[in-house]
């Protein structure tokens, strides 16, 4: 019972501090909203990039063209050897007739009866980083006449993913550094504006926890409000990212449990906002209330 009485008193005092420092509180909420919105968007984009990477990577195939004079047994032997390569995730044999059907499905006005494409094996690498090694091994196989070189495309794709990851982490660090700083500074200003009341409470024997709790709750409140506002802004942003994902990965994208992902990110933003506000306010209180 005493716990709830103290909590109610701390919440009431935190609201008094919040109203008295209205401009500072507003600035703190704006910064926390921007930081948590950036965190949520980057996290959401990371999820879509991850699934997009898998979708594109699974279709970043290496094609090994076989000699047309090979027998059925020789083709099977080559196919088994390719499948046993450690860099290979999957390998499918494509006959000249099947290759012609695929070609006609893409170019409907194509009128040819005999396939100009030799038999081939379509290989899916286990990772885009394996492509150069895989191509080198395929060219050494007896019976393989040529191999499509997608090394440059794989390197570019892998580089884009790495750059995006580094930029995302950098942005997160910048925004959260600003979030921690503004909450800490705001708490310090609030403590200074209530210095006389704090001195009186300490003179009459108030405990350290009794004095500190309202300011710690205030910091958590900044993070919570920022997280709630960022969640409201996240919904339309999520819709745009989802539309771009399905437009960019037009060829059978990996389906996402969209609402589950969105709700988890919102819940994580709320927890991160509360925790970050509490930690920064706690550090500020320790610094200013000796």
Same domain assignment for residues 141 and 72:
yes
pLDDT at site 6: 60
The residue out of 133, 149, 165 marking a domain boundary is 149
216 and 285 in contact (C-beta within 8 Å)? yes
Same domain assignment for residues 281 and 165:
yes
Mean pLDDT by 10 residues, the chain (290 residues): 62 71 76 82 77 63 85 88 87 83 71 77 79 85 82 62 72 75 72 67 67 77 86 84 65 58 86 83 70
Same domain assignment for residues 227 and 120:
no
pLDDT at site 215: 76
Same domain assignment for residues 197 and 115:
no
The residue out of 149, 172, 189 marking a domain boundary is 149
pLDDT at site 258: 58
Same domain assignment for residues 162 and 267:
yes
∠ CA 48-53-55, nearest 5°, is 95
pLDDT at site 272: 85
Q: Return d(Cα 164, Cα 171) in angstroms, integer.
A: 11
Same domain assignment for residues 115 and 166:
no
Please give the tally of structural domains in the chain: 2
Same domain assignment for residues 140 and 120:
yes
Containing domain of residue 248, as a range? 2-56+156-288
214 and 15 in contact (C-beta within 8 Å)? no
Same domain assignment for residues 39 and 77:
no
pLDDT at site 64: 87
Q: Return d(Cα 202, Cα 74) in angstroms, integer.
A: 90
The residue out of 91, 125, 149 marking a domain boundary is 149
């Amino acid at each position: 019972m005493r716990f709830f009485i103290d909590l109610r008193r701390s919440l009431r005092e935190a609201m008094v501090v919040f109203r008295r420092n209205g401009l500072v509180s507003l600035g703190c909420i704006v910064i926390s909203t921007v930081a948590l919105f950036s965190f949520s968007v980057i996290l959401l984009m990371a999820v879509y990039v991850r699934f997009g990477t898998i979708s594109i990577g699974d279709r970043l195939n290496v094609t090994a063209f076989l000699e047309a004079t090979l027998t059925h047994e020789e083709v099977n032997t080559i196919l088994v050897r390719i499948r046993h390569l450690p860099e290979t995730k999957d390998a499918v044999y494509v006959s000249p007739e099947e290759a012609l059907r695929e070609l006609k499905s893409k170019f409907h006005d194509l009128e040819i009866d005999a396939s100009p494409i030799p038999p081939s094996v379509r290989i899916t690498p286990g990772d885009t980083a394996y492509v150069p090694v895989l191509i080198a091994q395929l060219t050494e196989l007896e019976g393989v006449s040529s191999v499509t070189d997608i090394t440059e495309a794989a390197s570019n794709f892998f580089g884009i993913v790495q750059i995006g990851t580094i930029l995302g982490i950098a942005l997160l660090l910048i925004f959260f550094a600003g979030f921690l700083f503004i909450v800490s500074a705001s708490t310090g200003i609030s403590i200074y504006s209530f210095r006389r009341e704090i001195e009186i409470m300490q003179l009459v024997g108030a405990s350290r926890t009794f004095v500190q709790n309202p300011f710690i709750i205030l910091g958590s409140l900044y993070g919570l409000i920022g997280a709630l506002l960022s969640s409201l802004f996240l919904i339309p942003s999520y819709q745009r990212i989802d539309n771009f994902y399905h437009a960019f990965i037009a060829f059978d994208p990996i389906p996402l449990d969209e609402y589950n992902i969105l709700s988890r990110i919102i819940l994580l933003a709320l927890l991160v906002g509360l925790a970050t506000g509490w930690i920064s306010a706690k550090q500020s209180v320790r610094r200013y209330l000796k």
